[in-house]
């Protein structure tokens, strides 16, 4: 259940305040020149801490390769990558153990795992596990030189000006949500399958596994529901399949059509708001006011674009391997 993919497959493990988080990438073609340094630019983007609205917690996030790379190249065997947890202040969380944090998985995890879950900092639910996804995504990107995947925040707190949206949060002493848009260029037509392995199906499966994502839409998305068919249909204008418009967002019938793939995700406001909240106290059985301590992002959407790109790259690499567009030995 913590695995994803058919040929290029990832398995994540670890906890926010345990020894480490990590990922195993299986099915990566042999012969890719790869070093930990290749992953650093994307991992750096995920870290935040330098921009307004992201947590000052600075994990080192250096990827430690434990297997699958030999003489500087991938071997074709599983690549296991660890990120040690060094900068931990678990005591911040232990104090709140009696109150399951609203918006967090504390309550459901307790129900599902009978109280055995590692509750510190979200444990296995923590967005810290996305470090592994970002690492795997960086590897996936290296497999497809002609494809560009670019995600960015296009809205924060309802504002298309990120600074303005963040200021709203700062002024309100609250957290805010945001919207991220991702565009993929350079893909050939033919990726994806009708039905359960459609491009949208597989992408949404992994996108909804990014913490805080509440919606996914392709092309015109929800706005398509308000359009006429003659408006929404994209006229094919040449034998390459280029379309005059791109309301479909590059996917028709579940299959890439060679045009730019476009999709957006909605990210909810950080559950760990600085504001005082009211919630259940497990020990007393009654609700009480409390506030969350610890270091948190005002807007988790700000750190998510690189995660969205990684998730997308993982999906596309897998589709390209399935379609024999990437060789098994490079």
**Contact, 182 vs 200, CB < 8 A?**
no
Here the tokens at position 298 are 């005002």
For the segment 252-291, give every residue that binds its own copies (CB under 8 A). 252-258, 266-273, 275, 277-280, 282, 285, 287
Query: Alpha-carbon distance 211 to 297, whole Å?
Result: 13
For residue 96, list its beta bridge partners: none
Task: Fill in the DSSP letter of residue 124.
Answer: G
Nearer to its own copies, 149 or 191 (CB): 191
Q: According to the binding rule CB under 8 A, does residue 121 interact with its own copies?
A: no
**Which residues make Cβ contacts (< 8 Å) with residue 112, sequence separation at least 6?**
none
Residues 218-237 that bind its own copies (CB under 8 A): 218-237
Which of 39, 43, 109, 316 is in the footprint of its own copies by CB under 8 A? 109
Compute the least distance from the CB of residue 159 to its own copies, in Å: 9
Long-range Cβ pairs for the range 220-229 (8 Å, 24+): 220/247, 220/248, 220/249, 221/249, 221/263, 221/264
Name the token pair of 168: 């709203």
Compare residues 41 and 164 and give the one whose CB is closer to its own copies: 164
Per CB under 8 A, the list member of 90, 148, 167, 205 interacting with its own copies is 205
Footprint on residues 134-153 left by its own copies (CB under 8 A):
none
Residue in 51, 87, 98, 111 binding its own copies, rule: CB under 8 A = 111
**Sign of CA pseudo-dihedral 14, 93, 213, 116:** positive
Q: Is 90 in the site for its own copies (CB under 8 A)?
A: no
The only residue of 198, 315, 316, 318 in contact with its own copies, by rule CB under 8 A: 198
Contacts of its own copies in 50-89 (CB under 8 A): 65-68, 70-71, 73-80, 82
CB of 212 to its own copies, least distance (A): 9
């Amino acid at each position: 259940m913590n695995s994803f993919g058919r040929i290029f497959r990832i398995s994540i493990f670890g906890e926010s305040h345990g020894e480490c988080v990590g990922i195993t990438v299986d099915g990566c073609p042999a012969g890719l020149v790869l070093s930990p340094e290749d992953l650093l630019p994307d991992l750096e983007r995920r870290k935040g801490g330098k921009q307004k609205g992201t947590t000052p917690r600075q994990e080192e996030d250096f990827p430690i390769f434990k297997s699958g790379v030999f003489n500087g190249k991938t071997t074709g065997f599983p690549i296991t990558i660890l990120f040690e947890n060094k900068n931990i202040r678990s005591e911040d969380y232990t104090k709140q153990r009696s109150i399951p944090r609203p918006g967090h998985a504390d309550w459901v995890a307790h129900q599902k795992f009978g109280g055995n879950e590692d509750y510190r900092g979200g444990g296995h639910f923590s967005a810290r596990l996305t470090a592994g996804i970002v690492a795997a995504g960086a590897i996936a990107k290296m497999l497809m030189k002609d494809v560009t995947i670019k995600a960015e925040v296009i809205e924060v707190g309802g504002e298309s000006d990120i600074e303005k949206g963040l200021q709203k949060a700062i002024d309100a002493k609250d957290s805010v949500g945001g919207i991220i848009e991702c565009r993929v260029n350079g893909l050939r037509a033919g990726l994806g399958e009708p039905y359960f392995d459609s491009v949208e199906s597989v992408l949404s499966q992994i996108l909804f596994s990014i913490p805080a994502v509440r919606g996914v839409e392709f092309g015109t998305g929800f706005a398509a529901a308000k359009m006429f068919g003659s408006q929404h249909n994209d006229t094919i204008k040449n034998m390459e399949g280029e379309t005059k418009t791109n309301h479909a967002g590059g996917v028709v019938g579940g299959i890439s059509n060679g045009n730019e793939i476009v999709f957006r995700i909605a990210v909810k406001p950080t559950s760990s708001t600085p504001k005082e909240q009211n919630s259940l106290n497990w020990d007393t059985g009654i609700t009480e006011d409390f506030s969350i301590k610890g270091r948190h992002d005002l807007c988790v959407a700000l750190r998510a674009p690189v995660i969205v790109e990684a998730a997308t790259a993982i999906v596309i690499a897998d589709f390209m391997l399935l379609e024999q567009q990437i060789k098994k030995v490079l």
